[in-house]
Structure 1
């Protein structure tokens, strides 16, 4: 179970109030232990402690220091005279213990010093509190409390600093994660745009135009590599199937050179289209391209050719 300092201080208030009430009842029940000053002090301190308790309950931090001053004064003034000269009173430990809990090291030293001064004044500078051994032991205990409070405060400061560093690291991690998420979204948007551009370029590189009912024209411009040939084949197969075409005209007037790989790509495209029951005609074969194909031994036997797409349409 973890208790906060506020909860502990409230519990101390209740303990002091209950202790004062029990002391009052004890003196009333047992007249032989009755002490007038202690009895009056108990009657006076109960409402004062109650008021300080309510003040602290409502958030007034000054009340805990007022309580500490009150207990120090009462401890010094109400200790029986027998404990001024011959015996050491354990009540002398109450102010430093309370200061250790509700205040800090400075208050611990202050309340202890104030209590000893009050007791020495009452004893006229004599008594048990002038005994070196007694005061040495008392001082050692108080110094031990002082050191314990310093260690506790340092540990609390380190814990708070670690918590702040952890929160800062967590905030930095969240910011970094948000930045990464934003960059990922931007990258995804860029990839989507790039895919659209690639699709657009592919469409422009492998156009297919419906010339007439059942006739598709596929003009090829530029070098026909394996990727373009594959895209051209896919597009023509899709167009032939979608339009139920009976003829495809592949115009290569825009192809500057035709080598073995280009010719093989065209042949494979023609063969794929023919599997759908569609005729294929190649147009636009220039004199230089024809000479190159002849020199390379490229054979287009079985493939119909024409000079222009218009010529094919006239024949058809």
Structure 2
């Protein structure tokens, strides 16, 4: 069960009101009217403090401490059989009350106030205090002071630990949000890189529609294994997607044609023929033709022309002849 400091103050006020009311009734029943009226007034004071505290008046605990200390110290002193005046047990009440509702310094202040008022009344009446009971009272007040100080220290440490935990949680949440933002940015960068790579792949191996069912695939630059694979895959994809029946592959932009390039072209042509597509190779220069001859590379299965325009003319002528 968790009890807050506000609940402690409210409970102390309620106990003080009830206690004062009961004492006033008992005093009235014993016909001690003067003390009964005084205690009744105290009960009303406690009630007013309760209302004020519920409305947010933060000085209520301190004023309650002062009133209870003065009222308790005002009890008539009792003389024992040896002619000494002891410290009433009731004087412990304001110290204990202050330890519950206020700070350690107010515990000391309450004990000093009550003991000072009581001692003045005793000395004014020319009586003698029982110093053993005074020492016991001071010891009791000191213990309550230490207990309240320890309680405040524990509460302060708990509050600091809670604040550190909240700070750590806030930092963890901020780090999580930062990681989420960084992850989002990284994903965006990856998507952008993927888009750029797709764009580069498209530019590296374009497939342009020249006419209905005719694709033109110009190859520019050096062909390595990666580009060769991308070239074959893209041309096959475009042929399938656009339902092309004729592909013109132009290699005029390829600086050198070696065995790797030749095998790529042969493999691409074979794959396209499996799709029922006609393949024409254009752009073979004299140097490329000489290289292919010296390397004994045969392109006999691939139709060759000097330029894409020638391939288109041949396609139109074939179409006219067939028509």
Query: What TM-score, normalized by structure 2, do the two folds share?
Result: 0.89
Is 1:272 the equivalent of 2:263? no
Deviation at 1:307, TM superposition (A): 1.4
Paired residue secondary structure (1:301): coil
Q: 1:175 to 1:68 in 2, by over 3 A?
A: same
TM alignment of 1:16-165, pairs within 5 A:
16-29=16-29, 31=30, 34-82=31-79, 85-124=84-123, 129-131=129-131, 133-165=132-164
Paired residue secondary structure (2:123): coil
Equivalent residue pairs, number: 312
Query: What TM-score, normalized by structure 1, do the two folds share?
Result: 0.91
Paired residue secondary structure (2:206): coil
Q: 1:291 to 1:144 in 2, by over 3 A?
A: same
Contiguous gaps of at least 5 residues in structure 1:
none
Matched-pair contact (CA < 8 Å) for 2:251–2:281: yes
Paired residue secondary structure (1:252): strand
Please name the residue that 1:11 is paired with: 11
Q: d(CA) in 2 for partners of 1:212 and 1:56?
A: 92
Q: d(CA) in 2 for partners of 1:149 and 1:279?
A: 98
Q: d(CA) in 2 for partners of 1:71 and 1:284?
A: 111
TM alignment of 1:111-260, pairs within 5 A:
111-124=110-123, 129-131=129-131, 133-260=132-259
Q: 1:129 to 1:260 in 2, by over 3 A?
A: farther
Matched-pair contact (CA < 8 Å) for 1:116–1:129: no
Deviation at 1:28, TM superposition (A): 3.3
Matched-pair contact (CA < 8 Å) for 2:86–2:130: no
Paired residue secondary structure (2:56): coil
Q: 1:310 to 1:113 in 2, by over 3 A?
A: same
Q: How big is the alpha-carbon RMSD for the aligned residues of Structure 1 and Structure 2?
A: 2.0
1:254-310 deviation line (CA, Å, top 9, x unaligned): 111112221111111111100011111211111222222223332223222121122
Paired residue secondary structure (1:277): coil
Deviation at 1:193, TM superposition (A): 1.8
